[in-house]
Amino acid sequence: MNLIDCDTSFSGAILVILNEAIVNSTALYDYEPRTIESMERWFAAKQQGNFPVIGAVDSQGELLGFASYGVFRGYPAYKYTIEHSLYVAAPHRGQGIGRLLLQRIIDEAQRQNFHLLVGGIDSTNAASIKLHKAFGFEHAGTIREAGFKFGRWLDLDFYQRILQTPLRPIDG
């Protein structure tokens, strides 16, 4: 398995992973599967923000999972804070792919001089919470009943990891 920088040629494979999560889990608080057009907009936003899209691929080039990050909130003072997401294809979960992707996201965030990584995780997603804790993320709060899906209210936990970058943060 290799980690690669994904380009738009991976849109379809990413879409399959996302749509499976939308339909079968509370990893995404979405109701309807996404379209290929939404992936084009997603990739354009990643490119515009200079945000990575990292894929885990097998020896045949099949996408096993991916991770990325982007804007946390659209105000200037949040410029050192990013929100990340990480998804592993259902048949490949529990094989260490998430660990590799999360480490790469942390490394990229440090390289780009971000200071805070934030992950929003459904409170019932024990595997993701365990993964994040193993990488030094701390629980930063819970928004109770933030979403409603599958006939029930969903609590959203926020996990954060403070990085030692940038060395010289500036206002403005």
Helix axes 11-24, 36-49, angle to 10 degrees: 110
Tell me if 26 sits within 8 A of 77, measured CB to CB: no
Q: pTM for this structure?
A: 0.95
- In the prediction, which pLDDT does 166 show? 93
Enumerate residue ranges in the chain where pLDDT < 50.
Answer: none
In order of their start, the domains of the chain are: 2-162 (3.40.630.30)
Consecutive H or E run containing 94: none
Which residues, at least 6 apart from 21, have a Cβ–Cβ distance to it below 8 Å?
27, 28, 87
- In the prediction, which pLDDT does 172 show? 82
